[in-house]
Structure 1
């Protein structure tokens, strides 16, 4: 039996046939064009007690490899697009669409040039699942 064919590492097979990239690769862009930590810090919801715990730039593929290995990510974003990864804590809690948290940490993935939100993940202590997901029993 033959060994499975190797896929070139820079070519994500799930992204070969797809729509044009909304956010094309820009890893060779000068760092001066990227939004800095201070910009994102100024955008935090301080009224909600938000605190920036960590910040780094990386390519979208590096983000996928580090935080969601095995997933393909969002298909119209180039693997070589530089993103800003923000880890934001909400020590006083957070009310999100699907749940309330007594404490929460949000990992926010934003475009490093525009600041556009690409995706996010919330982790923390859930105190209440919001009514959108509640099944009303008769």
Structure 2
């Protein structure tokens, strides 16, 4: 998950500062990632699975934000992609979208965005009853 340290935003004109918890950044990035075409789902963990069972939603699942030794932000994004998509194209679109969203929402720059494709999601197969209905339609009498 995220580091326990806070990320400090400081205004140029004033000496006031704003602290942002990295979990907030994870939520921003996860919501933006889910909206990219080709992304089927975000990878969850035990905590997000338990939250879902309890009726809560973990919006930051699948994203980890950390600071490197230089103080730069690094995001790791874990996604499931739809089958049949061009993986490098979707990954590039993810990086572009997340970078843009982070700047728009917080005015912070991401140094690196690492996209980890965890798996592919295939469309559900037709059930046997659906196939039977399509193959043998009932004749209607006039």
Give TM-score, length-normalised by structure 2.
0.34
Whose helix fraction is larger, Structure 1's or Structure 2's?
Answer: 2
Whose strand fraction is larger, Structure 1's or Structure 2's?
Answer: 1
- Larger radius of gyration, structure 1 or 2? 2
